Amino acid sequence: MRSSSTSLRNCKRSRRSGDRGGRTQRYTCGIVWDRVDEGFFAIHEVMTMQSCYYSELDSPVGMLLLRGTGEALTGMYMQKQRYRPPLPDNYIRDDKLFRAAREQMTAYFAGELQSFDLPLAPEGTPFQKIVWRGLLDIPFGATESYGSLAKRIGHDGAARAVGLANGHNPIGIIIPCHRVIGADGSLTGYGGGIERKQWLLEHERRFGTQKTPLQAQLNW
């Protein structure tokens, strides 16, 4: 993927008519939500000015779905993952655009990479993005409790809210939500399944010689 900077606004386009009863359109990576007249909504999949792409990568934790704008990675999901959105028909498969992500993920699973260097553009609420940025500071091979993470990002006492944001992380592994565990050391939950979370943590303990945070390109 090209490493030029990007942000969520790059995959959105909007148009609003000034007439009463007109149409309000919001484009989000190929989806148009039309508001027509008195609040009735219709959803259409269209090709927008900002094309969106996907790729698939086989891995030890199953097939991974990568989604992006061509400039930044917007999602990486496991099979049967909770909150995994459906892939719109107008997404274009282009493995070449995801070459850097595919190569780095392959190296990660081989135990040869501990720090990712990729442009990311996850879509979420301001609070969710604060949590996801906090996840990037948890070193490879380490874990942190929900309560500790909440305190570190300036939301002491919000462990439950942090857990919910953690569960909605759209870019698994690279934004390492699997490294957050219960205060008692239990694995608690994981959108991709407890078995995968356990596999990832054991994999990182096995290869975790350097305790350095992941370095993703933060422009979100």
Question: Which CATH number covers residue 150?
Answer: 1.10.10.10
55 has which bridge partners?
66
Concerning whether 177 is annotated as a catalytic residue, the answer is yes
For residues 56 and 59, what is the distance between their CA atoms, to the nearest angstrom? 10
- Number of structural domains found in the chain: 3
Long-range contacts of 65-70 (CB under 8 A, 24+ apart): 66/98, 66/101, 66/102, 67/91, 68/1, 68/97, 68/98, 68/101, 68/121, 69/6, 69/10, 69/11, 69/29, 69/121, 70/1, 70/2, 70/94, 70/97
User: What is the residue range of 57's domain?
Assistant: 53-109
In terms of pLDDT, which residue wins out, 152 or 31?
152
In the set 11, 29, 52, 177, the catalytic residue is 177
For residues 74 and 91, what is the distance between their CA atoms, to the nearest angstrom? 13
Tell which of 109, 130, 148 closes a domain.
109
pLDDT digits (tens, 9 = 90+) for 30-68: 333 333 343 333 333 333 446 899 999 999 999 999 999
Q: Verify that 124 and 185 share a domain, yes or no.
A: yes
What is the residue whose two structure tokens read 């704008």? 69
For residues 175 and 215, what is the distance between their CA atoms, to the nearest angstrom? 10
pLDDT digits (tens, 9 = 90+) for 20-33: 344 333 334 533 33
Tell which of 87, 109, 131 closes a domain.
109
Q: Verify that 209 and 138 share a domain, yes or no.
A: yes
pTM (2 d.p.): 0.74
Domain containing residue 97: CATH number? 3.30.160
Q: Verify that 135 and 212 share a domain, yes or no.
A: yes
What is the residue whose two structure tokens read 């991974």? 64
For residues 145 and 48, what is the distance between their CA atoms, to the nearest angstrom? 41
